Amino acid sequence: MLFRILIVSMALVVFSSIVSAVPPGDVMKFGNVTIDGKLHADRGMDCNNCHSGIFEMKKGASKMTMEAIYQGKFCGACHNGKMAFDSKGMSNCSKCHKM
């Protein structure tokens, strides 16, 4: 019985962390940055493309800066001008940063 309670408790912890993730089709907002899950899904991406290799699954687990993105970390892993629009392009700022 104790084993079943432990398994159910662990499942609830895992499920609660999954529920907090934003599925394709929804929009994530981090300050003035907006990430549209549908745009990524329409291009054949799914959650596993970014999580948990590029981004930690827990929101706020990684310190994301523009410098890190410019170095090819986080969004910059794809937004490098080859796979997707270049995050360094000044004309591309408004694609993510919504005022």
pLDDT tens digits, residue range 21-73? 456 568 888 888 888 888 888 888 888 888 878 888 777 787 889 999 999 99
26 and 37 in contact (C-beta within 8 Å)? yes
Residue type, 63: K
In a domain, 6, yes or no: no
Among the ranges given (16-20, 23-27, 52-56, 84-88), the one the predictor scored with the smallest mean pLDDT? 16-20
- pTM attached to this predicted model: 0.67
- Both tokens of residue 75? 């969004």
CATH of residue 85: 3.90.10.10
More confident residue, 94 or 6: 94
In a domain, 81, yes or no: yes
Q: How many Å apart are CA 22 and CA 72, to the nearest integer?
A: 23
In a domain, 39, yes or no: yes
Tell me how many domains the chain contains. 1
pLDDT value of position 61: 80
In a domain, 54, yes or no: yes
Q: Which domain holds residue 53?
A: 23-96
